[in-house]
Amino acid sequence: MRLLARLHARADAAYDNAYHHKLQGRIWRALQDTEYEQYHDENRQPGFNYSNPFPPGDMQEGDERTLLISAPQEQLLTDVAEDLTSDRELNIGQMPFYIDELTSLSPDVGEPGSSGTIETGTGLLVRIPPWRCDDYGIENPGEEAVYWQPEHTIEPLREQVEANLDQKHDLFSPEYLPGPSDTEGDLFEGYELLKTFAVPLQVTADQELTFVLSKWQFNYTVRDDDHRRHLNLALDCGLGERNALGLGFCNLVEKRDPYGEPAAEVHG
Q: Which residues are designated catalytic?
A: 41
Instruction: Assign 107 to helix, strand or coil.
Output: coil
According to DSSP, residue 222 is labeled -
The amino acid occupying position 171 is: L
**Tally of residues, the chain:** 268
Indicate left, alpha or beta for 6 from its phi (over 0: left) and psi (-120 to 50: alpha).
beta
Starting at the edge strand found earlier in the chain, the sheet holding 190-204 runs 190-204, 207-221, 115-120, 250-256
Quick one: which of 171, 161, 166, 162 has its CA closest to 36? 171
Cβ atoms 222, 115 nearer than 8 A? yes
Cβ atoms 225, 113 nearer than 8 A? no
Query: How many angstroms separate the Cα of 11 from the Cα of each of 96, 175, 190, 212, 225?
Result: 7, 48, 42, 32, 47
Quick one: which of 89, 207, 103, 211 has its CA closest to 148? 211
Query: How many angstroms separate the Cα of 53 from the Cα of each of 6, 43, 82, 169, 241?
Result: 10, 27, 20, 27, 20
The C-alpha atoms of residue 147 and residue 198 are separated, in whole angstroms, by 10
